[in-house]
Amino acid sequence: MRVLKLMLKNALRHKLRTMLTILGISVAVVAFSFLRTVVTAWYAGVEASSPNRLITRNAVSFIFPLPLAYRDQIARIEGVETVTFMNWFQGVYIDKNQFFPRMAVDAQTALDAYPEFLVPPDQRETFLKERNACIVGADLAQQYNFKIGDVIPIEGDIYPGKWEFVVRAIYQPRDKTVDGTQMWFHWQYLDERMRQEMPGRAGKVGWYVIRIKNPAEAGRISEQVDALFKNSRAETKTETEAAFQQGFIQGTGLIIQLLNFLSFVIIGIIMLVLGNTMIMSARERTKEYAVLKTLGFSAGHLTALIAGESLIISIIGATLGLLLSYPVVDLFSLMVPKSWFPIFYIEPETIVLGATAALVVAIAAALFPIQRALRTSIVEGLRFVG
């Protein structure tokens, strides 16, 4: 207890220096947590992917559609539970800066394929009944203050014309890893209009989502799906949902790697800040360590004393930084449109990583001062003039 008290008193001997070191560590930990959260948010789609969902798209490119007729053939493959399909609608709501995913879906099967979208039964029923109904995520509803019965007017671009959708359901994401910013409406509503206005684009779907019974069979089923349409006018490429999502962020891989690298550079900065403080502190106390050795304090005692002081400073700084990370991430989340980072929260792994890094850095920062304190003989230490 007394030794702990001595560590604390030593840590607070130069209050300003210690406070600045703690502040430096806190700021670095906030930056670390924030960058890690951005990286995590980038991969959120991949992480949130379901292992028992496969995506079948046009083999040439995602932007080319597939015939609706493929649905029944896919559904007959052994191990397939549900087949649904979607079209990327896009369009402009208010202005081009108001981005959120808008998709035409086969409503009944899509809700079955995405059980993580929790919809109240009465709203689900109304949504399924009305042709121009739409369902929006709770986060999206909160962002634009959408309520049941509201009409969302959208200016079409991929599918030209003026479109209106009536909000009939609001889904709640099952947990915070699920995107709550999507808007779905009936594919049939889109297809009917295409039949009238652009018949060549009718009966086409953007991609199929295949819910399978056993994730272990993903490889076999993917091969079977693609084999079905080989040498057809629209060959397919089937992959797991995770691989499909990964494809979207592949182009940004370098930026993510850079952010990742920067987050670890920050760990290095923490080490330099703390290491500098510990080296100065230990140097100033060279004589005191010699006195403690004279009194019979062993190498182990001195190691504990120096490492303990380093740990105290690092733990206070890291705790403060990790606590501050939450409001900083929340503030950032409020400042940018929700659809930029639909899933943006500090993962427990980030906290564990931050805390572990702080502990490792504390020990590393104490190594040189410990080595110096132990290497200096008592006689040299007693003669030391700081």
Partner 1 sequence: MGSLIEVKNVSKSYWRDSFEIPVLNNISLSVAEGEFLGLMGPSGSGKTTLLNLIAGIDRPNKGSVVVGGTDITSLNESQLAKWRSNHVGFIFQFYNLIPVLTAFENVELPLLLTPLSKKERRQHVETALSVVGLADRMHHYPKQLSGGQEQRVAIARAIVTDPTILVADEPTGDLDKKSAEEILTLLERLNTEFKKTIVMVTHDPRAAEKAHLVRHLDKGELQ
By C-beta, is 217 or 288 nearer to partner 1?
Answer: 288
Q: Looking at 4, 13, 216, 261, which residue binds partner 1 (CB under 8 A)?
A: 13
- CB of residue 274 vs partner 1: minimum separation in angstroms? 20
- CB of residue 294 vs partner 1: minimum separation in angstroms? 5
| Cα(149)–Cα(180) distance, integer angstroms | 19
Binding of partner 1 at residue 280 (CB under 8 A)?
no
The site string for partner 1 over 364-383 (x = CB under 8 A, - otherwise) reads: -------------xxx--x-
Of 365, 370, 372, nearest in space to 277 by CA: 365
- CB of residue 319 vs partner 1: minimum separation in angstroms? 23
The DSSP secondary structure of 117-181, one letter per residue, reads EE--HHHHHHHHH-TTEEEEEHHHHHHHT--TT-EEEEEETTTTEEEEEEEEEEEEESSTTS---
Q: Which stretch binds partner 1 (CB under 8 A): 155-163, 169-177, 224-232, 296-304?
A: 296-304
| Cα(149)–Cα(203) distance, integer angstroms | 29
Binding of partner 1 at residue 298 (CB under 8 A)?
yes
The site string for partner 1 over 301-330 (x = CB under 8 A, - otherwise) reads: x-----------------------------
Count of CB atoms situated within 10 Å of the CB of 292: 19
By C-beta, is 98 or 298 nearer to partner 1?
Answer: 298
Alpha helices for the chain (secondary structure H): 2-11, 15-42, 44-47, 70-75, 107-113, 121-129, 138-144, 187-197, 218-228, 241-249, 253-284, 286-295, 299-335, 348-375, 378-383
- CB of residue 24 vs partner 1: minimum separation in angstroms? 23
Count of CB atoms situated within 10 Å of the CB of 23: 14
Q: Which stretch binds partner 1 (CB under 8 A): 9-17, 36-44, 74-82, 150-158?
A: 9-17
Binding of partner 1 at residue 299 (CB under 8 A)?
yes
By C-beta, is 15 or 162 nearer to partner 1?
Answer: 15
Binding of partner 1 at residue 18 (CB under 8 A)?
no
Binding of partner 1 at residue 292 (CB under 8 A)?
yes
By C-beta, is 141 or 302 nearer to partner 1?
Answer: 302
Give the phi and the psi of residue 146 in degrees, each rounded to 5. Answer: -75, 135
- CB of residue 296 vs partner 1: minimum separation in angstroms? 2
Residue 306 and residue 275 in contact, taking contact as beta carbons nearer than 8 Å: no
Binding of partner 1 at residue 293 (CB under 8 A)?
yes
Binding of partner 1 at residue 69 (CB under 8 A)?
no
DSSP state of 19: H
Binding of partner 1 at residue 148 (CB under 8 A)?
no
How many residues bind to partner 1 according to rule CB under 8 A? 25
Q: What is the dihedral of CA 53, 57, 60, 61, to 10 degrees?
A: -90
Q: Looking at 214, 294, 356, 371, which residue binds partner 1 (CB under 8 A)?
A: 294
- CB of residue 275 vs partner 1: minimum separation in angstroms? 22
Residue 126 and residue 169 in contact, taking contact as beta carbons nearer than 8 Å: yes
- CB of residue 15 vs partner 1: minimum separation in angstroms? 11
Binding of partner 1 at residue 10 (CB under 8 A)?
yes
Binding of partner 1 at residue 297 (CB under 8 A)?
yes
Give the phi and the psi of residue 333 in degrees, each rounded to 5. Answer: -60, -35
| Cα(245)–Cα(260) distance, integer angstroms | 19
Residue-level length of the chain: 386
Binding of partner 1 at residue 255 (CB under 8 A)?
no
Binding site for partner 1 (CB under 8 A): 1-3, 5-6, 9-10, 12-13, 287-288, 291-299, 301, 377-379, 382
